[in-house]
Amino acid sequence: MNLNERLTEDMKAALKAGPAGKARLETIRFLRAAVKNAEIEKHAPLSDDEILGIITKQVKQLRESLADFQRSGRQDLVEKTEAEIAVLSEYLPEQLSADEVRDLARKVIAQVGAQGARDMGKVMGPLMAQVRGRADGKMVQQIVKELLG
């Protein structure tokens, strides 16, 4: 079952859950709308990787909003946003830990022969290709800076 089919099935299940599945249903509908808009823009169905990219982007936006809501003391929005992040995270592959990213970064640094911070671009390209969707870009960048620094 591809990711688009899984979203459809999960939406049906959330509909059947009634009021208990309302928050989940809203989140999945929002995600399906984003996927549909991207398909219209592309004029073709999206692959699972492209859908994962959309989910990752939405989770990132929600985390930024979450920080704003926490700073402004909006507990109602904090809880709603955390629930949305939890639903979207179910569709993402398991995230890599900082140690796993560090190990991958060391391997890529050795492969490309990077010597210092000026070689960061040579490392980031191949490394991001390996961790795409499984690690936050900012964390990867910090680890590479630390290792090359």
Instruction: Give me the pLDDT at residue 149, please.
Output: 82
pLDDT band at 6 (very low <50, low <70, confident <90, very high): very high
**pTM of the model as a whole:** 0.78
Q: pLDDT digits over 101-143, tens only?
A: 999 999 999 998 888 888 888 889 999 988 887 888 888 999 9
User: For the structural domain made of 98-148, what CATH number should be given?
Assistant: 1.10.10.410
> What's the confidence (pLDDT) of residue 137?
85
CA 65 to chain centre: 15
Q: Where do the structural domains in the chain lie, given as residue ranges?
A: 3-89, 98-148
User: Which tens digits make up the pLDDT trace of 27-41?
Assistant: 999 999 999 999 999
Q: What is the pLDDT of residue 77?
A: 94
Does the domain formed by 3-89 have CATH 3.40.1010.10?
Answer: no
Write down how long the chain is.
Answer: 149
What's the angle, vertex CA 124, arms to CA 45 and CA 88, rounded to 5? 40
pLDDT digits 0-9 by tens, 91-101? 988 888 889 99
At 49 the pLDDT is 86
